[in-house]
Amino acid sequence: NLLESPEGLKLGGERRKITILTSDLRGFTATSERLQPEEVVKILNFYLECMADVITQYQGTIDEFMGDGILVLFGAPTQRKDDAERAVACAVAMQLAMEKVNTKMQEWGLLPLAMGIGINTGVVVVGNIGSEKRTKYGIVGNQVNLTYRIEGYTIGGQILISESTLKEVGSIAMVIGQKQVKPQGVKEPITIYQIGGISDPYNLVLPSKKEELKTLPQPIS
């Protein structure tokens, strides 16, 4: 989206607080082994198109598609005050857009897909990274890896966010569960929060699913 006009980006890289969103289709790689290759590509392209539309709407920067995975930046190249808010709102809208994806799956006679989303806010190095022939806007730092770890805790349909993102978003985030986890490479356990929606000015709510809450039995403190 903004990859071609990196306004506000210092040449040579800078350290900056951004909100990182990663998503993937839970279990899709395994499923893809049983599908026709044309079906795999057809499904992915429909799904990625739907998600790209939503991400653009929330001014996220798509940094990467990796198979069914998506890496989205909020706050780079362009920083805005509501980066974390838009990231969470975007995640809820992405989950809501899965209805459209799954209507199409049904039309194609295929089983429904389920996406997991992890969100984290932190300081990373951003810059134009690559070789002479192949430079792209990239990010480096522990906070990137942590975002993938948080996403790894999701089951299909879930959005999990870190404490730092929750602090930025504040009370408009609708937290429907929390969990202590100890991701690889992190010294102390951290708390991650399951998001069920986001209120004013976004007013987006996920349909409640009992089975999702089962994995997060701790009450909100």
Q: Which amino acid is at 203?
A: N
DSSP states of 36-71 = -HHHHHHHHHHHHHHHHHHHHHTT-EEEEEETTEEE
Residue placing its CB nearer to its own copies in the complex, 81 or 133? 133
The contacts of residue 66 (CB under 8 Å, 6+ apart) are none
Taking the least distance from each CB to its own copies, the nearer of 11 and 107 is 11
Residue 70 C-beta: closest distance to its own copies, Å: 10
Element holding 165 (H helix, E strand): helix 163-169
Minimum distance, C-beta of residue 5 to its own copies, in the bound complex (Å):
14
Q: Which is nearer to its own copies, 12 or 219 (CB)?
A: 12
DSSP 91-156: HHHHHHHHHHHHHHHHHTT-PPP-EEEEEEEEEEEEEEEEETTEEEEEEESHHHHHHHHHHHT--T
Q: Which residues bind its own copies (CB under 8 A)?
A: 12-15, 28-30, 32-33, 37-38, 40-42, 44-45, 48-49, 51-53, 62, 64-68, 125-136, 138-142, 144-145
Q: Are 195 and 177 in contact (CB under 8 A)?
A: no
Instruction: Give the distance from CA 100 to its chain's centroid.
Output: 18
Cβ closer to its own copies: 101 or 195? 101
Closest contact distance (angstroms) between CB of 217 and its own copies is: 25
Q: How far is the CB of 65 from its own copies (least distance, A)?
A: 5
CB burial of residue 39 (10 Å; 0-12, 13-18, 19+): middle
Closest distance to its own copies from the beta carbon of 3 (Å): 9
- Nearer to its own copies (CB atom), residue 28 or residue 193: 28
Token readout for 163 is 């404490």
Q: Are 26 and 79 in contact (CB under 8 A)?
A: no
22 or 158: CB nearest its own copies: 22
Minimal distance, residue 125 CB to its own copies, in Å: 5
